[in-house]
Chain A
Amino acid sequence: MSVDAATLHAPTADILAARPSTLLMRGVCKTFSTGTVALTDVSLEVAAGDLVSVVGPSGCGKSTLLRLASGLDAVSGGTIQVNAAATSFVFQEPTLLEWRSAQKNVELIDELRGVPRAERRRRATEALELVGLTGFERQFPRQLSGGMRMRVSLARSLVAEPDLALFDEPFGALDEITRLRMQTELQRIFRLKQFAGLFITHSVSEAVYLSNRVLVMSGRPGRIVADIAIPWQYPRPPELRYQAEFAALTGQVSAALEGGHE
């Protein structure tokens, strides 16, 4: 896959631009049947090895953007191209099936695809290991903490081996400490899997810490008002968050957000 592309070539700007994009949106608009104009003229591109964050005020159309990218909703205008054998979606809530153990929740996706039992078990065990939940396979959602439930949700999305991974404010409902820990985890998984990631958040520091590009959206109707590159190599140490250069970039994103409000 594109893991090779990323390791073989030096990450210079023009080679990056030459990589085939996994998700390509051109001039996308979305108007709901209620008359709400959620998005106007949104263009963006996400390639394998990109983790692109989208920040914007609540109600600006971030979830709509993801629903369009995943095919859950249809665009009103513009085009979307997806070059991915598998797409995953992580919701704001863990969205686990309460009557299934952690393991069985992760197996769900393969069950729907008709993967044989032994194979599906192996893949789920692997995915749970990847998110650090070995030993919790038999626990039910009600027996797990909020952070652990989100880990199960992550594992479920990873089991499909996604080329395109969509995240809709997955850590938004978690407490601060858990949230920071989950950011580190996600970064580790991203480095390992090298999918093309589109990550929605309303937290500026989360966006800057996680991604290599931050797109800033204006208030409704949503438009992209800034596209800010985040230069640091992965893995990024957690202490990065307390450094001056980090503060400078979050400042820049925040300023774009403020500007987009007017």
Chain B
Amino acid sequence: MTAAMTSAGSRPPATGESAETQSPEQAAHGAARRTVGRVAAAVGPMLSALAVAVGVWYAVTYLVLAENRRFMLPPVHQVLEVSVLQSSHMTPMLQALWLTVQVAVLGLVIAVALGVTQAIVMVQSRWMERILYPYAVILQTMPILALVPLLGIWLGYGFGSRVVVCVLIALFPMISNTLFGLQSPSAAAHDLFTLKKASRWQRLTKLQLPAAVPSIFSGLRISAGLSVIGAIVGDYFFRQGPVGIGGLLDVYTQRLQTEDLFTAIGLASLFGVVVFSLFATLDRAVVGHWYGMVRR
């Protein structure tokens, strides 16, 4: 669609017999060729890199590793045969991934709600900011590993603790980005609201929060990526109840099921990439629309 339009726009100026001599099929054909070309240009380098990686993989498996150590890096086709294409292997992995997705989504929702709320509280007064911000920073810098035993004692070793780990990991970018956005309006903009005797609520809803929307969405992008990591880390540490993809990683390692380990790593990474792309796109769309640059 877009390609067809561009090609029509960039058609060379008609000479003599004019553009009508070019049949619609020809034009469509040209457009299709161009689209293919563009996709190839975008995906080509990625595919070449993938091909190189697979090549290196095979080289390491067969040339570097001795036969008795080949389990460390099973060849690609073996990973596909033994694991990816076996529904008896794939089904539990997909179920585990689904559980991890739930942890990540719930963790992200809680992190967003808490982060935005805390930032709003902090922006209400310098004092609140001075009291709360140091704790936010401590939370961010504290190694989660140090909290794991305590969380286990408090909340048990199941779903709840997984979500909490996810929240702890994803929270800080929401706080700091929202706070930055809430503080972004100029002194003059605040003067305008003061002159018009705006209430605190009006200042928040008509000046600070709208000004923070772009930063909130870039915080969301970062936190979404972290929530994936948080969910997998949570699964890994807290194993009671149904297993998540992070738990499976450990199971496969223990049992030396390296084919399944690779598949699980691949699935976890794919999940991360999907979430990242989704929120990056959302971020761009919202911010563009916010400033009227994207017309509806």
Contact = CB atoms under 8 A, between A and B. Distances in A.
Given A93-B186, A99-B213, A140 B292 contact: yes
A242 B211 CA distance: 45
Interface string A66-80: 010011100000000
A112 B198 contact: yes
Interface residues of B, number: 21
Nearest to B192: A95
A156 to B, nearest CB: 9
Nearest to A94: B188
Nearest to B193: A112
> Size band of the A side of the interface?
20 to 34
B195 interface: yes
B98 interface: no
B292 A95 contact: no
Interface residues of chain A: helix, strand, loop or mixed (majority): loop
Interface in A85-107: 87, 89, 91-93, 95, 97-101
Interface in B275-293: 290-293
A113 interface: yes
B195 A111 contact: no
Contact of B291 (A89, A92, A99, A113): A99
B148 interface: no
Contact of A91 (B191, B194, B207, B290): B191
B189 interface: yes
A93 B188 contact: yes
B191 A139 contact: no
Contacts of B293: 140, 142-143
Nearest to B191: A72
Given A140-B291, A142-B293, A89 B195 contact: yes
Contacts, number: 54
B202 interface: yes
Contacts of A101: 292
Interface in B197-228: 197-198, 202, 206-207, 210-211, 213
Given A70-B195, A99-B213, A139-B292, A112 B202 contact: yes
Nearest to B198: A112
B11 interface: no
Nearest to B203: A112
Given A99-B213, A111-B206, A72 B195 contact: yes
A226 interface: no
B66 to A, nearest CB: 63
B208 to A, nearest CB: 11
A91 to B, nearest CB: 5
Contacts of B192: 89, 91, 95
Contacts of B290: 99
Contacts of B291: 98-99, 140, 142
A109 interface: yes
Contacts of B126: none
Nearest to B189: A95
Contacts of B206: 97, 108, 111-112
Interface in B159-194: 186, 188-189, 191-194
A143 B293 CA distance: 8
Contacts of B196: 109, 112-113
B195 A91 contact: no
Nearest to A89: B195
Given A70-B195, A112-B202, A113-B196, A142 B292 contact: yes
A54 to B, nearest CB: 18
Contacts of B194: 72
B195 A95 contact: no
Contacts of B186: 93, 95
A89 B210 contact: no
Nearest to A114: B202
B99 to A, nearest CB: 39
Contacts of A92: 188
A112 B292 CA distance: 22
Contact of A87 (B195, B207, B211, B292): B195
Given A72-B195, A89-B195, A99-B290, 19 more contacts: A67-B191, A72-B191, A89-B191, A91-B192, A93-B188, A95-B186, A95-B192, A97-B206, A97-B211, A98-B211, A98-B291, A99-B213, A99-B291, A109-B196, A112-B196, A112-B198, A139-B292, A140-B293, A143-B292
Interface of A: 67, 70-72, 87, 89, 91-93, 95, 97-101, 108-109, 111-113, 139-140, 142-143
10 contacts: A89-B192, A89-B195, A91-B192, A98-B211, A99-B210, A99-B290, A101-B292, A111-B206, A112-B206, A142-B293
